A and B are shown apart, each in its own frame.
Chain A
Amino acid sequence: MRVSAKSATLLVLVVLILLSPVLFPSGYYYRVGALIFVNAIAVTGIVILTGYAGQISLGHAGFAGIGAYACALAPVHLGLHPSLAMILGAAISAVLAWLVGRPILRLKGYYLGVATLGFGILVSMVLNNERQLTGGPDGMEVPDLGLRGLLKDAGLDLTNGQFWYFLCGIVLIAAAWLALNLYNSPTGRALRALHGSEVAARTVGVDVARLKLQAFVISAVYASVSGSLLALQNKFITPDVAGFMHSIEMVTMAVLGGVGSILGAIFGAAVLTLLPQVLTVFAEYEQLVLGLVMMGVMIFLPQGLLPSILRRVRGKDE
């Protein structure tokens, strides 16, 4: 029964990714879709950290920034292929998350939020101020991944939009698959246990500090990969990727969709990525809307949009 819940989630995801292009009025929507997937990858990481383990981070854009700038800098300065740069970025994010997380994760609730916020701001400041290296607020160019050319040589000719749509879609499916594996695994259960009651989790032998750190590192890698894909796709990157607003976006997407469910969180990412595309006014009032969405969801739909809708549909006994 549990296994089928996992398969069902993956199936829904695969079908949506494959079939949505049928409805696209123009090629532009491939790009929107790819952006949704990029955000959804980061949000899936937030689900592991916040939904499973119950820990709040307001600084995960910092890791997205590291992933993004790794793809911009490593090919130029280290001569790495962009795909390896992405892995390097993920590795740096993981190590940094481990170092930063060790002291931070002793804190609880708001304190943890504030400490991670500080980390995000720190990364953002470094990216803004190290002008010789990062170009500062003006941003910098990111080399081409080169994969699309290879595919073309192999006889698969995709437009740029299509290529990124399917690449990010595949990465998202992999990200969701890993997160779903984790959910019902011993580690996932321990994470959800410490979320439910730290003292009880300790009593059954869960090394709470270690488990929180694992969740933090995993979610940092998710954010980093998301940042890398964004940078490679746009071929240009600014420090905004590491900015406070981006961290808030991630959390809001997760909370909106339902931080306890992978599909819900992806749904949340889709809604908040689409909104500014549909309503151009949204771009101007993004902060206002994000705040209102967050408050509204917390008050009226504490479990998030998708789980609440499903509950309504199925009746109360879910």
Chain B
Amino acid sequence: MTALLSVEGLGITFGGLKAVNDVSFTVQPGEITSVIGPNGAGKTTLFNMISGVYQPGRGRVVLGGEDVTGMAPHLLARRGLSRTFQNLQIFQSMTVLENAISGYHLKERGPVLADLLGLPASRRRAAAAASGARELLARVGLERAAEREAGNLSYGALKRLEIARALALSPRILLLDEPAAGCNAVETEEIDHLIAEVAASGVAILLVEHDMKMVMRISNHIVVLDHGEKIAEGDPASVSRNPAVIAAYLGTDAETGAAHADG
């Protein structure tokens, strides 16, 4: 099995509603796999199960050959799974640089006593994380904003900051939940390039995105969800021609968009 991540029959029920039902797919290293579907299709819920925020009701998540179903997010982070959020989860009152440094938590953490006493070892760890963070900020074009309070940044800048923070973990797989949402055309293109670059470096990317142009342009593989079920899967060309996908998006089904539990 060469897949880095494999999702097997994953499902969850919220108050009798099957938010996600029996979804399976695999993600390969160095490839961009996108999950698309109408609002309420269960994309974010799926993300939350894979990243350990929700406990799946059924099915398995296998990461690098290890069953990590329902594992706590901080343990998944140690195994190389990193993510961003649809509704930004930025540390608002910290500076941009501190936000990026926090992505190095697993590399910079040490004995709390050393941190309290400000021992050289503690300061060395912090300094190494800070220099790595500065490089990452430069990579996403935020180096000039490093000392600003994150809460003051524009939406698009925060999106990039979140990606920088996620990259700080040197992940094997990166889950991006609508990284381009709310961004203008220029910002979208920047994020676009960044994602392609990260994938080219061998990281597996799992993407949820509404911007269809972007998805079709950068994805290697697309999984289509509707009403919590996988209705299609394949390369961009075949998915965009798939009648079931077209039907789901054009809303021939009267129930499309009904209240599904989605982020």
Residues on A facing B (Cβ under 8 Å):
1, 177-178, 181-182, 184-190, 192-193, 195-197, 199-208, 214, 218, 260
The size class of the interface chain B forms with chain A is 35 or more
Q: List 26 A-B contacts (CB under 8 A).
A: A1-B147, A182-B115, A185-B118, A185-B123, A186-B108, A186-B129, A187-B109, A187-B110, A188-B115, A189-B94, A189-B98, A189-B126, A190-B102, A192-B94, A192-B98, A200-B85, A201-B91, A202-B52, A202-B77, A203-B51, A203-B77, A204-B77, A204-B166, A205-B74, A205-B106, A214-B112
Complexed CA–CA distance, A218 and B74 (Å):
23
Are B116 and A205 touching (Cβ within 8 A)?
no
Per CB-CB distance, the 5 closest pairs between chain A and chain B, nearest first, are: A196-B91, A185-B115, A205-B77, A181-B118, A200-B89
| Minimal beta-carbon separation of B126 from chain A (angstroms) | 6
Are B117 and A178 touching (Cβ within 8 A)?
yes
Are A201 and B115 touching (Cβ within 8 A)?
no
Which of A178, A195, A199, A204 is B105 in contact with, Cβ under 8 Å?
A: A204
Are B169 and A205 touching (Cβ within 8 A)?
yes
Complexed CA–CA distance, A182 and B114 (Å):
9
Complexed CA–CA distance, A218 and B115 (Å):
12
Are B109 and A204 touching (Cβ within 8 A)?
no
| Minimal beta-carbon separation of B31 from chain A (angstroms) | 22
Interface string of B68-91 (1 = CB under 8 A from A): 000011100110001101000111
Minimum CB distance partner of B48 in chain A = A199
| Minimal beta-carbon separation of B74 from chain A (angstroms) | 5
Main DSSP-derived SS at the A contact region? helix
**Which of A184, A197, A204 has the most C-beta atoms of chain B within 10 angstroms of its own C-beta?**
A204
**Which of A192, A203, A207 has the most C-beta atoms of chain B within 10 angstroms of its own C-beta?**
A203
Q: Which residues does chain A contribute within 8 Å of B116, judged by CB atoms? A: 178, 181-182, 185, 187, 218
Residues on B facing A (Cβ under 8 Å):
51-53, 72-74, 77-78, 82-83, 85, 89-94, 98, 101-103, 105-106, 108-110, 112, 114-118, 122-123, 125-126, 129, 147, 165-166, 168-169
Q: Which residues does chain A contribute within 8 Å of B82, judged by CB atoms? A: 203-204
Q: Which residues does chain A contribute within 8 Å of B129, judged by CB atoms? A: 186
Q: Which residues does chain B contribute within 8 Å of A188, judged by CB atoms? A: 115
Which of B90, B106, B169 is A200 in contact with, Cβ under 8 Å?
A: B90
